[in-house]
């Protein structure tokens, strides 16, 4: 009985697995293939074509135009280039301000909310996380009300003796500090059709209101990622640091933060990817105005295609955006890479301690791996 | 914690719990409460303003108590606008997408985690690659395919492309890998086929992960805007997000109409708020999150 009656049975257990494997994954393959892979290829073709939105992009009347759509955007010298440059400028400032602000705020909130002595931790977490679950449309509607010229924000500012700006109608760059025109050399020289003076002007006041919105809605999500990571850290390194007489401040910067590096990387990456895709808020709130200062590449790609019927250009913008996102993700990965401890640092360690506390890297990685599995739940 | 190492710091900490400790703690609470007010207050303003008259909303935007309570905004929304249609469409889309994702994500996740077949690893690698494509980049591409397939401006075009998502499959795969294989082996020896094993043995065990998918899909599809913009155009197929966005941008009406808009925003927040409060523990207690249970 043992050998040959078992053998076929074994085969029976595994038989049909390949078939059902493909069967089980077939819906996924079809759906993702149809609505993710093929679309990308199709759009790639459109970005090299002169398709005008009518009929099939594969019909005989549609021509291959090479890099024309791309060159119009990047060096055409016309309105298309100027709009694209403006959109890039706006979004770049948005990224530069939102990513650090939301990360810092999320980390701060997580550390605060994670304190054992704090009562009402549940309440605070709920309060900080709630904006993250609501739709961007609802929040934008609310923001339009709060930040209108006679709205709640300006009313609150007036109690402090500050005259608030006309937020969503103010195209002035916040780093121009009220100056209406800059030195000639900055006004004359341009990049992507946009004067350097505008590039350095920072986000417009209107865009700044959207920046606040982004920080408001995403800090809660990222706070949860940090909380998860903090809870996975063992207490022993902290205690060892305490024994060595490190203050709370030192412990945060020298012990906790290095251990959070993997989560920090996740948060920065997700933040960066998300920030380059601002669309909902613009569509709902500002439609790119005032004076195109809240125009973003994502929204420009939409209007170029769906409103102006320049489908090739719209698709080209989408692909340039894709390249930008990939580039910055890789760049960030490179900046935040695990470096070998520098010689000078190393000397400090060997002089100061013997062995026990000098290698926070291994536990940090373990915590990171644990945090990674926790993170998927939240997104 | 070993007692000996724990003793010393704890001792110093208790000594700190004097005047300085109390001051520090009060400061902590003050800061957190101030931030919490900033986070909560906007939503209270939203609710309050939706019950105000137009003049009151403009005149005193900060007050949480309407001078005269009125449900005019809600009456207009429900009785003389397309709002009920938008709501209905959002419900239809969200329920179908959530159901589809729970089933298809777990099916694919199970296959990728457990079933042995050639090409499985390649498939998984492709899935990870697909996850990296930013959604906004797909706006135009998706429209092209939906249009080409002839399902533009239909429920099919709005729902089918959302029926599965790479991130959800990823979560389910991770979860199934954490379940001991012995349970399934037993069922197989008893003669159950792969689908039977999946449906009656493994899926019931995956409840925590399934709930995670439910939460994410519900939130994701209820709040989705961009996809509906590119997949439909007729007023009868407008979802809440699209309808309210157009209402806000003034495409549908003139004047500020803040009470009306804020009432719409408040109502569209309720379903996700309910889901959030029902599953609050699971969402917020990040460390013992769904997948690890």
Tens of pLDDT along chain A (379 residues)? 444 444 444 455 566 788 888 999 999 999 999 998 888 888 888 899 888 777 778 877 788 888 888 988 888 778 888 899 999 999 999 999 999 999 999 999 999 888 877 788 888 988 999 999 999 999 999 999 999 888 889 999 999 988 888 888 888 888 878 777 777 777 777 788 788 888 888 899 999 999 999 999 999 999 999 998 888 887 788 888 888 888 888 888 888 888 888 889 889 988 998 999 999 999 999 898 888 999 999 999 999 988 888 889 999 999 999 999 889 888 888 887 777 666 666 666 665 554 444 344 433 333 333 334 333 333 3
CA-to-CA distance for A79 and A318, rounded, in angstroms? 18
State how many domains chain A has: 2
CA-to-CA distance for B108 and B86, rounded, in angstroms? 32
Of B119, B137, B268, the CB nearest to A322: B137
Name the domain boundary from A21, A48, A69. Answer: A69
User: Does A51 lie in the same domain as A87?
Assistant: no
Does a structural domain hold residue A325?
no
Cβ contact, residue pair B138, A40, below 8 Å: yes
Please list, in sequence order, all residues whose beta carbon lies within 8 angstroms of the beta carbon of residue B288, skipping any fewer than 6 positions away: none
> Tell me: the pLDDT tens digits for A145-185?
999 888 889 999 999 988 888 888 888 888 878 777 777 77
Q: Which residue in A has a C-alpha nearest to residue B50's C-alpha? A: A142
Residue A88's pLDDT is what? 94
Predicted-assembly ipTM surpassing the 0.90 threshold: no
Other beta carbons less than 10 A from residue B149's beta carbon? 15
Residue from B32, B202, B241, B251 to probe the interface with A (highest A Cβ count within 10 Å): B32
Does a structural domain hold residue A326?
no
| Closest residue by Cα to residue A379 from B275, B288, B274, B213 | B213
User: Does A28 lie in the same domain as A53?
Assistant: yes
Q: Chain B window 67-106: which residues touch A at a Cβ cutoff of 8 Å?
A: 104
Per the CB < 8 A criterion, the answer to whether A98 and A214 are in contact is yes
Q: Chain A window 271-310: which residues touch B at a Cβ cutoff of 8 Å?
A: 273, 276-277, 279-280, 283-285, 287, 298, 301-302, 305-306
B29-38 CB contacts, 8 Å cutoff, 24+ apart: B29/A118, B31/A112, B32/A112, B32/A113, B32/A118, B32/A124, B35/A109, B35/A128, B36/A123, B36/A124, B36/A127, B36/A128
Residue from A44, A272, A377 to probe the interface with B (highest B Cβ count within 10 Å): A377
> Min CA distance, A164 vs chain B (Å)?
14
The CA-atom distances, in angstroms, between B201 and each of B29, B186, B226 are 48, 10, 38
> Tell me: the pLDDT tens digits for A237-274?
888 888 888 888 888 888 888 888 888 988 998 899 89
Q: Which residues in chain A are contacts of B112 at CB distance < 8 A?
A: 25
Name the domain boundary from A69, A101, A120. Answer: A69
Q: Of residues A63 and B155, which shows the higher confidence score? A: B155
CA-to-CA distance for A281 and A289, rounded, in angstroms? 12
Does a structural domain hold residue A331?
no
Six token digits for residue B263:
């009432």
Cβ contact, residue pair A39, B39, below 8 Å: no
Q: Which residues in chain A are contacts of B123 at CB distance < 8 A?
A: 25, 29
**DSSP assignment of B116-177, as one string?**
--TTHHHHHHHHHHHHTS-GGGGHHHHHHHHHHTT-TTSHHHHHGGGS--HHHHHHHHHHHH
Does a structural domain hold residue A304?
no
Residue A205's pLDDT is what? 92
Cβ contact, residue pair A134, B273, below 8 Å: yes
Q: Chain A window 25-64: which residues touch B at a Cβ cutoff of 8 Å?
A: 25, 27-29, 31-32, 34-40, 42-43, 46, 56-57
CATH number of the domain encompassing residue A89: 1.10.3720.10
Of B35, B62, B146, the CB nearest to A152: B62
Give the helix ranges, DSSP H, for A114-179: 121-133, 136-146, 152-159
Cβ contact, residue pair A35, B169, below 8 Å: no
Cβ contact, residue pair A156, B142, below 8 Å: no
Q: Would an 8 Å CB–CB cutoff place B197 in contact with chain A?
A: no
Q: Which residue in A has a C-alpha nearest to residue B167's C-alpha? A: A376
Which range, of A301-305, A339-343, B131-135, B209-213, averages the lowest pLDDT?
A339-343
Which range, of A1-5, A214-218, B58-62, B251-255, averages the lowest pLDDT?
A1-5
Q: Would an 8 Å CB–CB cutoff place B268 in contact with chain A?
A: yes
Q: Judge: domain B81-292, CATH 3.20.20.70.
A: no
Name the CA radius of gyration of chain B, rounded. 25
Please list, in sequence order, all residues whose beta carbon lies within 8 angstroms of the beta carbon of residue A291, skipping any fewer than 6 positions away: A171, A204
CA-to-CA distance for B82 and A83, rounded, in angstroms? 35
Please list, in sequence order, all residues whose beta carbon lies within 8 angstroms of the beta carbon of residue A322, skipping any fewer than 6 positions away: B133, B134, B137
Other beta carbons less than 10 A from residue B88's beta carbon? 14
Comma-separated ranges of CATH 1.10.3720.10 domains in chain B: 81-292
CA-to-CA distance for A99 and A67, rounded, in angstroms? 32
User: Does A34 lie in the same domain as A166?
Assistant: no
Q: Which residues in chain B are contacts of A142 at CB distance < 8 A?
A: 42-43, 45-46, 262, 265
User: Does A41 lie in the same domain as A155?
Assistant: no
Cβ contact, residue pair A141, B262, below 8 Å: yes
CA atoms within 13 A on the CB side of A260: 26
Q: Would an 8 Å CB–CB cutoff place B163 in contact with chain A?
A: yes
Is B225's pLDDT higher than 90?
Answer: yes
CA-to-CA distance for A335 and A337, rounded, in angstroms? 6
Q: Which residues in chain B are contacts of A137 at CB distance < 8 A?
A: 223, 225, 240-241, 244-245, 248, 265, 268
> Going by DSSP bridges, is the β-strand pair A190-191/A194-195 parallel, antiparallel, or unpaired?
antiparallel
Q: Chain A window 188-217: which residues touch B at a Cβ cutoff of 8 Å?
A: 216
Q: What is the mean pLDDT of residues B51-56?
A: 88
The whole domain housing A14 covers: 2-69
Of B31, B123, B229, the CB nearest to A25: B123
Six token digits for residue B146:
């939906």
User: Does A63 lie in the same domain as A131?
Assistant: no
Cβ contact, residue pair B5, A35, below 8 Å: no
Q: What is the mean pLDDT of residues B139-155?
A: 90
Residue A240's pLDDT is what? 85
Q: Which residues in chain A are contacts of B164 at CB distance < 8 A?
A: 27-28, 31-32
Residue from A135, A289, A357 to probe the interface with B (highest B Cβ count within 10 Å): A135
Of B25, B42, B230, the CB nearest to A146: B42
The CA-atom distances, in angstroms, between A223 and each of A102, A217, A332, B85 are 9, 11, 20, 36
| Closest residue by Cα to residue A290 from A185, A169, A375 | A169
CA-to-CA distance for A279 and B140, rounded, in angstroms? 13
Which range, of A104-108, B233-237, B285-289, averages the lowest pLDDT?
B285-289
> Tell me: the pLDDT tens digits for B4-38?
444 444 444 554 557 887 888 888 889 999 999 99
In the block, residue with structure tokens 């697995």: A17
In the block, residue with structure tokens 């769904």: B290
Per the CB < 8 A criterion, the answer to whether B231 and B152 are in contact is yes
Cβ contact, residue pair B194, A40, below 8 Å: no
Q: Would an 8 Å CB–CB cutoff place A321 in contact with chain B?
A: yes
Does a structural domain hold residue A321?
no
Residue A297's pLDDT is what? 94
The CA-atom distances, in angstroms, between A99 and each of A93, A214, A257, A326 are 10, 9, 17, 16
Q: Which residues in chain B are contacts of A284 at CB distance < 8 A?
A: 225, 244-245, 248-249
Cβ contact, residue pair B39, A319, below 8 Å: no
User: Does A142 lie in the same domain as A17?
Assistant: no
Does a structural domain hold residue A169?
yes
Residue B5's pLDDT is what? 43
CA-to-CA distance for B108 and B111, rounded, in angstroms? 5
User: Does A169 lie in the same domain as A126?
Assistant: yes
In the block, residue with structure tokens 């500012």: A157
Please list, in sequence order, all residues whose beta carbon lies within 8 angstroms of the beta carbon of residue B253, skipping any fewer than 6 positions away: B247, B260
| Closest residue by Cα to residue B93 from B153, B156, B169, B166 | B156
Name the domain boundary from A38, A69, A100. Answer: A69
Of B145, B262, B283, the CB nearest to A35: B145
* Terminal alpha carbon distance of chain A: 52
Size of interface A-B (CB pairs under 8 A): 313
């Amino acid at each position: 009985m043992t050998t040959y009656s078992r053998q076929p049975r074994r085969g029976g257990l595994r038989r049909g697995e390949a078939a059902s494997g493909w069967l089980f994954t077939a819906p996924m393959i079809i759906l993702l293939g149809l609505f993710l892979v093929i679309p990308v290829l199709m759009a790639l073709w459109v970005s090299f074509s002169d398709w005008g939105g009518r009929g099939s992009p594969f019909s005989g009347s549609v021509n291959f135009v090479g890099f024309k759509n791309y060159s119009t955007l990047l060096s055409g010298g016309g309105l298309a280039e100027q709009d694209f440059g403006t959109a890039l400028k706006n979004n770049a400032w948005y990224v530069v301000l939102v990513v650090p602000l939301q990360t810092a705020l999320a980390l701060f909130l997580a550390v605060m909310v994670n304190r054992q002595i704090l009562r009402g931790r549940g309440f605070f977490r709920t309060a900080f996380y709630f904006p993250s679950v609501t739709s961007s449309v609802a929040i934008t509607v609310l923001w339009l009300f709060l930040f209108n010229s006679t709205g709640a924000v300006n009313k609150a500012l007036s109690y402090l003796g500050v005259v608030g700006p006309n937020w969503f109608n103010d195209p002035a760059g916040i780093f121009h500090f009220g100056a209406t025109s800059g030195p000639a050399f900055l006004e004359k020289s341009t990049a992507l059709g946009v004067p350097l003076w505008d590039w350095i002007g920072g986000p417009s006041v209107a865009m700044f209101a959207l920046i606040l919105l982004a920080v408001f809605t995403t800090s809660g999500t990222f706070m949860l990622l940090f909380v998860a990571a903090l809870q996975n850290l063992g207490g022993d390194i902290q205690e060892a640091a305490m024994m060595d007489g490190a203050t709370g401040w030192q412990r945060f910067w020298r012990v906790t933060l290095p251990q959070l590096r993997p989560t920090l990387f996740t948060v920065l990456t997700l933040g960066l990817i998300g920030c380059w895709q601002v669309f909902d808020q613009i569509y709902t709130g500002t439609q790119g105005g005032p004076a195109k200062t809240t125009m973003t590449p994502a929204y420009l790609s939409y209007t170029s295609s769906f409103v102006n019927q320049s489908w090739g250009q719209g698709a080209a913008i989408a692909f340039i955006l894709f390249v930008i996102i990939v580039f910055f993700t890789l760049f960030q990965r490179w900046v935040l890479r695990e470096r070998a401890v520098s010689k000078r640092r190393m000397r400090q360690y060997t002089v100061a301690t013997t062995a026990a506390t000098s290698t926070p890297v291994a536990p940090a990685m373990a915590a990171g791996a644990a945090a990674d599995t926790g993170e998927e739940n939240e997104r | 914690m070993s007692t000996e190492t724990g003793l010393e710091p704890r001792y110093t900490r208790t000594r700190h719990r004097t005047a300085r400790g109390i001051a520090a703690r009060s400061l902590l609470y003050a800061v957190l409460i101030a931030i919490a007010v900033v986070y909560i207050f906007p939503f209270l303003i939203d609710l309050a303003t939706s019950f105000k008259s137009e003049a009151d909303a403009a005149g005193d935007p900060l007050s949480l108590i309407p001078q005269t309570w009125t449900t005019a905004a809600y009456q207009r929304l429900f009785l003389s606008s397309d709002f009920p249609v938008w709501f209905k469409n959002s419900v239809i889309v969200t329920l179908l997408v959530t159901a589809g994702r729970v089933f298809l994500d777990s099916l694919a996740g199970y296959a990728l985690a457990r079933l042995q077949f050639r090409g499985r690893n390649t498939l998984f690698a492709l899935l990870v690659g697909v996850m990296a494509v930013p959604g906004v980049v797909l706006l135009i591409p998706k429209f092209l395919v939906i249009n080409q397939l002839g399902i533009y401006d239909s429920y099919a075009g709005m729902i089918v492309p959302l029926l599965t998502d790479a991130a959800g499959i990823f979560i389910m795969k991770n979860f199934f890998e954490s379940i001991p294989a012995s349970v399934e082996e037993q069922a197989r020896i008893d003669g159950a086929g792969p689908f039977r094993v999946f449906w009656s043995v493994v899926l019931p065990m995956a409840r925590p992960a399934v709930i995670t998918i439910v939460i994410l899909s519900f939130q994701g599809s209820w709040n989705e805007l961009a996809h509906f913009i590119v997949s439909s155009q007729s007023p009868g197929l407008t979802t809440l997000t699209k309808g309210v966005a157009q209402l806000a941008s003034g495409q549908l009406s003139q004047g500020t109409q803040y009470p009306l808009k804020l009432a719409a925003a408040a109502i569209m927040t309720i379903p996700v708020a309910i889901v959030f409060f029902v599953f609050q523990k699971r969402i917020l207690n990040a460390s013992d999150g769904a997948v690890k249970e």
